[in-house]
Structure 1
Amino acid sequence: MPAPSPVDLILPGAADVRAAAAGWLSGLAGERRLSPNTVEAYRRDLRQFLAHLARTGTNPDIPALIRLKPRDLRGFMAARRQEGVCGRSLTRALAALRSFARYLDREGHGTVAALSAIRSPKIERGLPRPLPIAAAVAMTSSDIRAGEDRPPWVLARDAAVLALLYGAGLRISEALGLRRRDAPVEGIDVVTVLGKGAKTRSVPVIVPVQAAVAEYLRVCPYGLAPEGPLFVGARGGTLSPRIVQLAVASLRGALGLPESATPHALRHSFATHLLARQGDLRAIQELLGHASLATTQLYTKVDAARLLSAFAAAHPRARAS
């Protein structure tokens, strides 16, 4: 008997569902080029749904999925709500189930009609939480961590990565995805990054960021291959995002910053600080690689919230009330 695949070991349900799920997940990673994190989240959502069906007495095979009623899906959503799952996660779970249902339909198994009767839950979008300018600038300097028992080149590396997040508005995955040949050093004021959905965009790189990257390259003890990663770990391999997150945690302690001061908060700070200096919203959208202007417009609300806060703190009538 052949050894079971990883999907067989993880997903509940009948063999036909597990086989279909294997093909679906493979397509997400290969043809649609979704990130490994997204594929894993979709796999987890499908597993939770199949487990819910099994608990409620439905044998989760493909014919049972085709026969699902809207109440079956609403029951799953309600059960997840009771477990404390937020609206954003429930929306993603529905997206995963719809994606799997489309795969079943394309493969000739039939249509899961019940999904068309289910609306995605409303999501209350929280405002981005940018850092003050002084704190954001301090996080991009290696001087703050000079007392740590870390090699100087590691501190320079972390500073260069964080400088790209704040100075160019990159996502952490975009910064760590840069190749050595793409290093934005002196004379190279634009870098091309691979963003979400495998979309590329060109981002200008200011002189202080170029200097931070150049300093890292100057002290890095490894010979970096042109096609290899720009940022490497302690042993010369690809740098993990977790290492950058730990560096930011150390900086939070040194600077007395809240838990919301994450690597991604530096990207938020980039957009908010540009907007506060009359940056054009469309240009900021392009710099960030947002597919929708509505996502970028969240930063206008951050600025408005700060104005209201300042008004409430300073206006005589506001203080009197």
Structure 2
Amino acid sequence: MANQARPVTKSRASYTRNHFAALRAFVQRVPAATIARLYFSEDENGNEATPGWVESYLRRMQAELVDLALEHGSSVLADHLKASAKAHGSARLTAVTLKMVEQAALLAVAKPEASHGVGLWFRPLVARRLNDAGIRTLAELVDFCNRRGGSWWRAVPRIGPGRARHIVSWLRQNEALIGLHIATDISLDDPFSAPDSALITIDTDSSVLAPLERVRLPGELSGESGLNRHASFPYITAHNDLEAVRAYLHRYREQPKTLRAYTKELERFLLWAVTVRRKPLSSLLADDCEAYRDFLKAPSPAFVGSRQSRASGRWRPFSESGLSSESQRYAVRALRAAFAWLVDVRYLAGNPWTVVSDPIRIVRESELHVERALPAILWERMRGFIDDQCLREDARYWRSVRVALLLGADSGLRREELASARRERLAPTPHGDGVEVVWQLLVIGKRKKERTVPVSPATIAALTAHWRDRGEDFHSGTAGPLLAPIFIPPGKEAQKKHADGAPLAYHADTINFMVEWAMKRLIAGMASTLSVEEIKLLSGTSPHAFRHTFGTLAAAEEVPLDVVQKILGHASLQTTSIYVQAEKQRMLREAASFYRRPKSDKAGEEG
């Protein structure tokens, strides 16, 4: 029957949407090596897809789809395909005719099943990231999403909200075929634009807590008639406490990290005031603030839960049962500053937090996790291994990673500073030791402070190679990010970002992935020469560890402490001195190891 399509019989499985996307690229003459990297994963044949295998596979797929279109497509399409086959030996497809063939072969697409590997339905880059998180099948993916809620993607490196939205959307469209249901609260809507239908009324009897953007307060708790409201004309158009808090937070709209931190502290306090003290924010007195300070030490169970999407009903203000002394101190200071502003703009008559003392802060011997720094000998061995990898023709990503690691370990950059570093802020200097030229880089660090850091000759050489991979001359003075992606993904969003041809810098979160990627390969490639302790250290290494590496190595080489402080951008010399303490601790550990050695060994050495 002409209108009855049949699935294509193949030795493994029916074609998936990845296969059709790969075939479209093949028809448009995209190299087979690129297609293999973008569209094929180990779920296809149990091994890495080679360009030759991909080309053979797609030619066979094209022939099978043409046969299906000849049997079930329109007479016009059939005549066209036959004429093309007669002229060329086999039907040649254009983008237009391929689309017609696909329409005629719609039922050749496989139906997703719970047991299918994620690599059959998502691009290899996505599938690899899911696999790394322990997600192998569609059933495991659905279970992972349902267990973790709307923020499930945060536990999968390099699966951002946009990609996660597409994954969830596809799972929902295929729920009936997969046979598994995605929870209704797995939503990725913008959390800062909640519609009225998503607002939740919070009152004294409320058993549900909601983030600030979803809170609705009844009249008696709104603060419209709060005891502490200022009697004079206010400087802000806030009729209630929610509007006043949002007006304060609006000041930080261009500082996303600060905005998130202050939002967290104010929404916690607001929810506590309404549900525990049963008062509006603008009626709280000093004894209320003292009670909240004590509450921070051990929040009630109703306020504590695992990390969830702000759109989830499982969201809670605290993700842990008790805050550290530093976090308690930060919360009190943040609230005191917010209330001071509300007094300044004459929304409140007075600031009850002024008479509340800061929580006692436990001063730790080491505020920084300097133990994560890499020992000098290990770092040198790592650099040798990385340099060897970078010599290969296909090592463009290794050369990108090398730049990131060197800017951290040789210049002490934070990951945000590294991601935002630009070529026009880097220049050679007349200073140095007479042998090597020292370059200087102007970076914008914490608190929007500029500082100048030195850049090593090895980093300049690495940057030169990385820019060559990007098709640019590093020494031509061209403006742009120091570190930028080599490959532009084919997605619409990525193509749109690169539409003007200008290179875009990596996101700071991507630096984490680059370091994790490198550490896995360093451990595998250097396994025979690494001790158990070194493997443990590398497996937990983050971008910040390379900044600590710079600090400890500089201290070991007796670089003046004030110089190290300026390079690292520490506000206090006391903070920088921790690196000196770390060197002393290392010396004592080595001495302790010597003392534990058998007496006979030491006697033999003395002889």
- Scaled to the shorter chain, the TM-score interval is 0.7 to 0.9
Q: Distance in 2 between matches of 1:37 and 1:44?
A: 11
Q: Tell me: CA distance 1:52–1:8, structure 2 relative to 1, closer, same or farther (3 Å).
A: closer
Match of 2:252 in 1: 28
Counterparts of residues 211-290 of structure 1 (less than 5 Å): 211-221=461-471, 226=478, 228-233=480-485, 234-235=487-488, 236-253=503-520, 254-255=522-523, 256-258=535-537, 259-290=539-570
Q: Deviations over 1:125-144 (max 9, x none)?
A: 35422111233345556457
Match of 2:580 in 1: 300
Q: Distance in 1 between matches of 2:331 and 2:598?
A: 44
Match of 2:262 in 1: 42
Q: Distance in 1 between matches of 2:244 and 2:599?
A: 63
**Partner amino acid for 1:73?**
Y
**Partner amino acid for 1:77?**
L
Aligned length: 313
Q: Tell me: CA distance 1:10–1:276, structure 2 relative to 1, closer, same or farther (3 Å).
A: farther
Deviation at 1:65, TM superposition (A): 3.6
Pick one of 70, 73, 77 that aligns with 2:292. Answer: 73
Deviation at 1:12, TM superposition (A): 6.5
Counterparts of residues 1-321 of structure 1 (less than 5 Å): 9-10=213-214, 14=222, 16-30=240-254, 35-61=255-281, 63-65=282-284, 69-80=288-299, 83-108=321-346, 109-123=348-362, 124=364, 125=367, 127-129=369-371, 130-137=373-380, 142-143=386-387, 152-183=395-426, 189-221=439-471, 226=478, 228-233=480-485, 234-235=487-488, 236-253=503-520, 254-255=522-523, 256-258=535-537, 259-315=539-595
Q: Which secondary structure state, in structure 1, belongs to the residue aligned with residue 370 of structure 2?
A: coil
Q: Tell me: CA distance 1:257–1:96, structure 2 relative to 1, closer, same or farther (3 Å).
A: same
**Partner amino acid for 1:92?**
Y
Deviation at 1:86, TM superposition (A): 2.0
Unaligned 5+ runs, structure 2: 1-193, 200-210, 223-238, 301-319, 429-435, 489-502, 524-534, 601-607
Q: Distance in 1 between matches of 2:598 and 2:568?
A: 36
**Do 1:171 and 1:264's aligned partners in 2 also have CA atoms closer than 8 Å?**
yes
Deviation at 1:319, TM superposition (A): 8.3
**Do 2:419 and 2:506's aligned partners in 1 also have CA atoms closer than 8 Å?**
yes
Q: Which has the larger radius of gyration?
A: 2
Q: Which secondary structure state, in structure 2, belongs to the residue aligned with residue 203 of structure 1?
A: strand
Deviation at 1:110, TM superposition (A): 2.5
Q: Which secondary structure state, in structure 2, belongs to the residue aligned with residue 22 of structure 1?
A: helix
**Do 1:131 and 1:265's aligned partners in 2 also have CA atoms closer than 8 Å?**
yes
Q: Which secondary structure state, in structure 1, belongs to the residue aligned with residue 298 of structure 2?
A: helix
**Do 2:437 and 2:457's aligned partners in 1 also have CA atoms closer than 8 Å?**
no
Query: Which structure is higher in RCO with an 8 Å CA cutoff and minimum separation 6?
Result: 1
Q: Distance in 2 between matches of 1:67 and 1:142?
A: 58
Q: Distance in 1 between matches of 2:546 and 2:295?
A: 37
Q: Tell me: CA distance 1:151–1:269, structure 2 relative to 1, closer, same or farther (3 Å).
A: same
Q: Distance in 1 between matches of 2:268 and 2:442?
A: 38
TM-score, length-normalised on structure 2?
0.46
Q: Tell me: CA distance 1:131–1:70, structure 2 relative to 1, closer, same or farther (3 Å).
A: same
Deviation at 1:165, TM superposition (A): 0.6
- Greater Cα offset, 247-256 or 44-53: 247-256
Q: Tell me: CA distance 1:151–1:9, structure 2 relative to 1, closer, same or farther (3 Å).
A: farther
Unaligned 5+ runs, structure 1: none
- Greater Cα offset, 197-206 or 123-132: 123-132
Q: Which secondary structure state, in structure 1, belongs to the residue aligned with residue 270 of structure 2?
A: helix
**Do 2:443 and 2:452's aligned partners in 1 also have CA atoms closer than 8 Å?**
yes
**Partner amino acid for 2:467?**
L
**Do 1:29 and 1:39's aligned partners in 2 also have CA atoms closer than 8 Å?**
yes
Identity of aligned residues (%): 23
Q: Tell me: CA distance 1:92–1:114, structure 2 relative to 1, closer, same or farther (3 Å).
A: closer
**Do 1:184 and 1:213's aligned partners in 2 also have CA atoms closer than 8 Å?**
no
